[in-house]
Amino acid sequence: MFNTLKKLLCFLALTAVTSAISAAEKDTTFVATGNPIVSYKYLGDPAAMVYDGTVYIYAGHDECPAPEQYYLMNEWCILSTKDMKTFTEHAYTFKAKEFKWAKGEAWASQVIERNGKFYWYVTVEHATIPGKSIGVAVADSPTGPFKDARGSALITNDMTTQYTSIPWDDIDPTVFIDDDGQAYLFWGNTQCYYAKLKENMIELDGPIMPINLPRYTEAPWIHKHGEWYYLSFASEFPEKLCYAMSKNINGPWEYKGILNELAGNSNTNHQAIIEFKGKTYFIYHNGSINPHGCGFRRAVCADLLEYNPDGTIKRIQMTTEGVFK
């Protein structure tokens, strides 16, 4: 009798633990009522992708406990929405340590689709080559599971030392597939770089080339609207977001000034720009989660981006209301 009771208690305890675990592993759906989109956890470096009528936002998870003041980022999280109002945060997260050659540190990233596969370009700290590196993971679905596509870094610090000796210049990948099918990787801190990617998306297809942009810091993002290519980027520090335009992905890039002012509550402001259902969205981070939000505990926001008739972009207005009507 005593043994049976013990077994029953044991079973009940295990069931409770299992339910708690599955609850934590479930997707979370919520309606955004204003900026930031997610206010229950800190997320930074949003990269957005539109695929099959859905917006996906990939963001690094800021885990820095207050009052500590540096990045603590082990994983990236995924949000999705079909209407920019009701969002799902997917239970699946992708961890920086899934790259066996990396020490960790889930810095900025971007996902792109090609031929039904999803490629996630990420910044991580390399385990044996000093400095930051860019890795690429692949999945059959935009929400994973993702796995290291190469088993080694795509870009390492030693590949760019001719341009700068700092060990953190190889960060912040942004990827773009041009109308002729050629894919390009842009990245860089202090110095902006770009290179062609092979059709397989996991190997470079030519040399690494520098792009000189005034007061360039980091966070490049490439997008195209009409005939214009746009290269937006973080400038100076604390960062404003600026942009340049060109009629050719290979440049020359004409600097066009400030796109978004200082966030004020975050020293970085990393942006993504997407077109979705007739509107252009500017998705970025600031430090707007009260009371401990800051440059290391960031929050993902969305506002509208509008063009002038000549293709230049109107200054972004960061709002508390956001775009979620």
The answer for residues whose C-beta is within 8 angstroms of residue 248's C-beta and 6 or more apart is 229
State in angstroms the smallest separation of the CB of 254 from ligand FUB. Answer: 23
Q: How far is CA 94 from CA 168, 170, 216, 218, 316, in A?
A: 22, 20, 29, 23, 31
State in angstroms the smallest separation of the CB of 264 from ligand FUB. Answer: 15
Under DSSP, the state recorded for 252 is P
- Of 142 and 287, the one with the shorter C-beta distance to ligand FUB is 287
- Of 190 and 250, the one with the shorter C-beta distance to ligand FUB is 190
State in angstroms the smallest separation of the CB of 84 from ligand FUB. Answer: 22
My answer on whether omega of the bond before 167 falls inside 30° of 0, hence cis, is no
- Of 153 and 171, the one with the shorter C-beta distance to ligand FUB is 171
State in angstroms the smallest separation of the CB of 183 from ligand FUB. Answer: 21
CB distance 193 to 211 below 8 Å: yes
Quote the CA–CA distance of 60 and 295 in Å, as a whole number. Answer: 13
- Of 25 and 99, the one with the shorter C-beta distance to ligand FUB is 99
Quote the CA–CA distance of 196 and 74 in Å, as a whole number. Answer: 29
Helix (H, G, I), strand (E, B) or coil at 299: strand
Which parts of this chain interact with ligand FUB (CB under 6 A)? 44-45, 60, 71, 107-108, 123, 171-172, 218-219, 268, 270
Quote the CA–CA distance of 215 and 298 in Å, as a whole number. Answer: 23
Tell which phi-psi region holds residue 264, choosing left (phi > 0), alpha (psi between -120 and 50) or beta.
left
State in angstroms the smallest separation of the CB of 96 from ligand FUB. Answer: 11
- Of 107 and 118, the one with the shorter C-beta distance to ligand FUB is 107
State in angstroms the smallest separation of the CB of 185 from ligand FUB. Answer: 15
- Of 190 and 312, the one with the shorter C-beta distance to ligand FUB is 190
Q: Specify which residues 76 forms β-bridges with.
A: 60, 94
